[in-house]
Amino acid sequence: MVERMEQLGMLVDLAHASPTTIDDATAMATKPLVISHTGVKGTCDNTRNLDDARIREVAGTRGVVGIGYWETAVCGTDAAAIARAAHYVTNLVGIDSVALGSDFDGAIAAPFDVTGLPLIVDALIAEGYGEGDIAKIMGGNAVRVLSEVLPSGEPPR
């Protein structure tokens, strides 16, 4: 399925995949993969969140891990908890593999809506990030992955 999705120019999102599925997908992927919304065990240890091995696997595809905003994803209810999780991923695999993963679909209780994004910027500044790295986390990395994966106008083969 991963191979066919890549051929069709589809983005493969592993947000609800099991560890084994993540392992299998990252082993065969030739394009960046994403985990659009999750937490990381390094800052919030629970069964839903990603362990370091899976974070490294996704980063190894040039993909991104989107940090969720809900309490069980980041073990907190504020922007600082989101920034801590982003910082953990950055320290583990580098700035190019972290993104925001709000999950603003109404299924989770987020501490704020889109108007709270400046709170995340402030929290990232408090974590020591500069303007360029903040731009990557706030959307630049996601745009890069979308640009690499989505079709450029040519039909799939």
- What is the residue type of 82? I
Distance from the first to the final alpha carbon of the chain? 15
The confidence score (pLDDT) of residue 87 equals: 98
Token pair recorded at residue 143: 């745009």
Confidence of residue 153 (pLDDT cuts 50, 70, 90): low
Reported as a single tens digit per residue, the pLDDT across 110-119 is 888 889 999 9
- What is the residue type of 50? L
The owner of tokens 């940090």 is: 67
pTM metric for this prediction: 0.92
The confidence score (pLDDT) of residue 157 equals: 59
Reported as a single tens digit per residue, the pLDDT across 62-95 is 999 999 999 999 999 999 999 999 999 999 999 9
- In the chain, what are the domains? 2-149 (3.20.20.140)
d(CA 130, CA 137): 11
What are the DSSP calls for 105-152, one per residue? SSSS--SS-GGGHHHHHHHHHHTT--HHHHHIIIIIHHHHHHHHHS--
